Amino acid sequence: MRKRLALSHLPTPIQRPRRLADALGVDLYVKRDDMTAGAEAGNKIRKLEYLLAAAREEGADCVLTCGGLQSNHARATALLCASLGLRAVLFLRTADPSAAAPLEGNALLDRLAGAEIRLISPEAYLDREAVMAEAAAEIRAAGGRPYVIPEGGSNGLGALGYVRAMEEIRKQLDLGIAGGKPFDVIVHACGSGGTAAGTALGASLHQVAGEVRAMAVCEDRATFARVVLAIMDHARSLDARLGAPAHLVIDDSAKGPAYAVSTPEQRARILKVARLSGLILDPVYTGKAFSGLWDMAERGELSGKRVLFLHTGGLPGLLAQGTSFADVL
């Protein structure tokens, strides 16, 4: 077994938002992975439990990673590194790298945690692996011991966090939670592929669900198909128990105009979900994913199925986009 740091508050609950489920006409449950921790909560912490364990095992004193300006992964990395006494260097994509990181949302939490933020252009971000490798070499030459974590923590090692999450769900089902039976489909947001890979592999291994629907929030189906397959291959090389995944559908129908840009309809649905259930979704990840689930329900594709929505967090990103909700509030 791969080493893991216990950084999360587990198990996260599985809840049935009855009024929301009735409104959609869906047998709906929600896995509350927005409750994995405090300010560092969300799906990324499950991946970082393995990745930061590897960093410590290698004797690292500095962790480098990357993401968008309001990256949930970067925020979780910054906060967890602070708790472990590790330096964090974040390469964040923004249209104006000459500006300072804003004092709002995830970027504010990055700064509170003492992370070093290096803003880079979208063009430079295309070569993010080379950018981080060069920075790691410079840190190593200065006597530091860097460890590089890819975007979203999405590699085979990070994906083991969601293999383990599926084992957690299996144990909850065995206790009679959520009806005690496997789900027909798990729906979640997909931004870098690691959660999809781990969920599909783990859902099959632990007989949690026959299908995983990964709702892309950026890129297209073909791109994520390649990425997720590569991550699954890497995960299998690390855990011999892993075999064929559950049926994985990558759905790019709800990705919206661009990464971190939602449609008015998606924002209206975020509002409706909050008022029907008290669940808070964000316009970058979970709001888009749930909007895709909503579309499936309206088309009748979820009729008679047991559905689990994996709530991957993202509250700070929502708070950084408050003004975009003026059209629906």
Number of H helices, E strands in the chain: 12, 10
- Residue 280 tokens read as 């808070």
Q: Tokens 């290698």 label which residue?
A: 58
Quote the pLDDT of residue 122.
97
Mean pLDDT of 210-228: 97
Quote the pLDDT of residue 298.
98
8 is catalytic: no
Catalytic residue among 8, 71, 154, 291: 71
Quote the pLDDT of residue 271.
98
Among the listed residues 26, 35, 37, 104, the one whose alpha carbon sits nearest the alpha carbon of residue 69: 104
Backbone angles phi, psi at 144, to 5 degrees: -85, 170
Terminal alpha carbon distance of the chain: 49
- pLDDT band for position 31 (cuts 50, 70, 90): very high
Helix axis angle, 72-84 relative to 44-57, nearest 10°? 40
- pLDDT band for position 129 (cuts 50, 70, 90): very high
Over residues 292-329, the pLDDT tens digits come to 999 999 999 999 999 999 999 999 999 999 999 999 99
Mean pLDDT of 18-32: 98
Among the listed residues 141, 57, 106, the one whose alpha carbon sits nearest the alpha carbon of residue 319: 106
Mean pLDDT of 240-245: 97
Quote the pLDDT of residue 142.
98
Quote the pLDDT of residue 289.
98
How many whole angstroms separate alpha carbon 162 and alpha carbon 179? 22
Over residues 163-182, the pLDDT tens digits come to 999 999 999 999 999 999 99
- pLDDT band for position 1 (cuts 50, 70, 90): confident
- Residue 313 tokens read as 């967090």
How many whole angstroms separate alpha carbon 110 and alpha carbon 252? 30
Quote the pLDDT of residue 223.
96
Quote the pLDDT of residue 260.
96
Q: Collect all residues with Cβ–Cβ distance below 8 Å to 270 and sequence separation of at least 6.
A: 262, 281, 282, 283, 287, 290, 318, 325, 328
Mean pLDDT of 240-250: 98
Quote the pLDDT of residue 110.
98
Quote the pLDDT of residue 206.
98
Residue 140 in this model has a pLDDT that exceeds 80: yes
